[in-house]
Structure 1
Amino acid sequence: MKQSILPANHPTADSQNTMEQVAVMLYNPDVANINGKIELRQNLFSFLLEGQKSVQYAGSQVTINPDQFLLLSSGNCLMSEKIAAPGGRYRSILLFADNKVLADFFLRHPQAPAQKKQEAPFLVFEKDAFLINFIESLGFILASGVPPSAELRKVKLEELLLYLSEHYPEKMQGLRNFNDETDDDLLIRQAVTANMYNTVTVEELAFLCHMSLSTFKRRFARIYGTSPNKWLLEKRMQKAAQLLKQGECKVSEIYFELGYENLSSFIQSFKQVHGITPKQFQLSN
């Protein structure tokens, strides 16, 4: 799967290989994207206009609709963009801001200490009349065909941050206190626990943990005493057996819930762990 880096380098007048502190762009892909590997070099406001967006970090995930928007912290994540209905489109506006810009804002606009630390690497906001108009203003700026100046981009970001700080002070303070320096072993535990039953591969888990595949496998084996593929297989088949015992789900429903693309591969995995097919297991219980 292709890995993308966002934002891409935007040459400035001072340096030809420096990312802008604040960048804004339209993002309207023609086809749906599932679990695209994204390396976010900066924090990202993702304003969804049409479609559905899901984002997955090592230990948490979130899905939004066009009535909401996201603030994502920099780091590795998996992104999925889906077209909501036949004949529909996926449309969004992306506003990037580096840590220095956010740190400068919080320095100039101090807030009372947050009651608790922000645990998830994202914040979800509901759109209101002001935010809808703000997003539309970004669309007008981009539609003009004239690239917005660095000063204008910073002014628009400042406008947004001030509004969010006044109306969502706890969320914004949580962002200020978010610490992305996580112990590697804890990050692995968070990643595998959060994605135990999801359609996430071992390679994708390694990416979410900011590790090479070999490093992830080595550290995983040290923590769990087995390989990640074997561990995930056993956990997913234990879940499958539990669902079959409850008798509320059909085999054809369970395989999809556990992230298998087809029934035959699920049956093969189940038999590998339990020695019999899911149907035989269900009849015996």
Structure 2
Amino acid sequence: MPIENIPEIYIKEKEVNEGLLVYDFKMTNDVVKSKVNLSMNMFSFLQVGKKQVHFADTSIAVNSKQSLLLKKGNWLWTELLETEAIYYCKLFFFSEEKLIEFLKKHTKNVQPYTNGVAYFVIENDDYIVAFLNSLSILNSDTSNYSANLLKIKFEEIMLYLLAKYEQAFEFYLHSLISKEVSPFKNVVESNVHSNLKLEEIAFLCNMSLSTFKRHFMLEYNEAPGKWLQDKRLQRAKDILQEGQLKPSDIYLDMGYNNLSNFSIAFKNKFGISPKEIH
């Protein structure tokens, strides 16, 4: 699957004006785990549909009652239609320079928080609905007045969220300018029990698959495919022994496309089929 460079692929008629860009994203088909290289921090104001984002060490799912502020980086996006035939999301990109300028003007001089997560969940309310309506009107205007208004709208939403979420949002904004990258082992071990493929975990580590495999061998002295499979099968055995779930309930979560492949791998490792676990 090709990597989408965002917002670069949206910049055709529109330039990023002084580090700010608004883009109306619409879609009529589900997209599952698309690889996205996000080069600017971004508000994702979801209006119709569902969205899930896999980060290096966690994931988050939201519906149209919530919005996300996402840190720039390599992420996997899943975007799903609901009952409507269209997925609609308003994206508001801002550069690191714009963020630093805002923080200097409006927040205390706190040091960047290096262990912040890559996202902040925003509960949509009447103010945000009104803000998005004003952005829609602004987005159809290409005058210089519009560009200047966009700067004010960026400051407006940031100030509103600071008032709404207080210190939690302030600390999150400071974490966005931290240069710390998630350590390799942290990314790998956070995804041991996910259903992500090796190639997808490598992408979250900002590595090609071949580089990831070499790095993995140095860290763990074992091929990543076998290491992950053993960990996930052991997890499956533990779950089945609890007696609450059947093999058909868990094989997808363990990274297998079908029950048959899961059963074969399980029997090869433990000598019995998953159905025989009590």
For residue 2 of structure 1, report the CA deviation from its aligned partner. Answer: 2.0
Matches within 5 A, 1:46-61: 46-61=44-59
Q: Does residue 168 in structure 1 map to residue 157 in structure 2?
A: no
Q: C-alpha separation between the residues in 2 aligned to 1:61 and 1:205? A: 13
Q: Is the 8 A contact 2:66 2:123 kept in 1?
A: yes
Q: Which runs of 4+ in 1 moved over 6 A?
A: none
Question: Per the alignment, do residues 203 and 237 of structure 1 end up closer, same or farther by CA in structure 2, a change over 3 Å counting?
Answer: same
3-state SS of 1:92 partner? strand
Q: Does structure 1 conserve the Cα–Cα contact (< 8 Å) formed by 2:45 and 2:91?
A: yes
2:79 aligned partner, one-letter code: E
Match of 1:182 among 156, 180, 186: 180
Matches within 5 A, 1:132-171: 132-142=129-139, 144=140, 146-147=141-142, 149-171=146-168
Q: Does 1:105 find its partner at 2:102?
A: yes
Q: How does 1:115-130 map to 2 (within 5 A)?
A: 119-130=116-127
Instruction: Say whether residues 1:267 and 2:263 are aligned partners.
Output: yes
Secondary structure, counterpart of 1:28 in structure 2: strand
- What amino acid is the match of 2:180? T
Q: Is the 8 A contact 2:114 2:180 kept in 1?
A: no
* Structure 1 pair 12–35 and aligned structure 2 pair: CA distance change class (3 A): closer
- The answer to whether the 8 A contact 1:118-1:177 is kept is no
**Change in 2 beyond 3 A, CA 1:76/1:265:** same
Paired AA for residue 49 in structure 1: Q
Aligned residue-pair number? 274
Q: Secondary structure at the match of 1:270?
A: helix
User: What CA distance in whole angstroms lies between the structure 2 residues aligned with 1:198 and 1:41?
Assistant: 25
Q: Deviations over 1:191-245 (max 9, x none)?
A: 2222222221111111111112222111112212212111110111001111121
CA distances 1:92-125 after superposition (whole Å, capped 9, x unpaired): 1000001000001111112364897652011111
Q: Is the aligned partner of 1:40 residue 2:38?
A: yes
- In the TM superposition, residue 135 of structure 1 has moved relative to its aligned partner by 1.4
Q: Match for residue 6 of structure 2?
A: 6
Q: Secondary structure at the match of 2:252?
A: helix
1:257 aligned partner: 253
Deviation of 1:180 after TM superposition, in Å, equals 4.6
**Alpha-carbon distance in structure 2 between the residues aligned to 1:139 and 1:3:** 28
Provide TM-score, normalisation by structure 1: 0.87
Q: CA deviation at 1:266?
A: 1.1
SS where residue 26 of structure 1 aligns?
strand
Any unmatched runs of 5+ in structure 2? none
Alpha-carbon spacing, 1:191–1:115, altered in 2? closer, same or farther (3 Å): closer
Residue 196 of structure 1 corresponds to which residue in structure 2? Answer: 192
Partner of 1:71: 69
User: What amino acid is aligned across from residue 6 of structure 1 in structure 2?
Assistant: I
Alpha-carbon separation, structure 2, partners of 1:151 and 1:231: 54
Q: Match of 1:199, SS?
A: coil
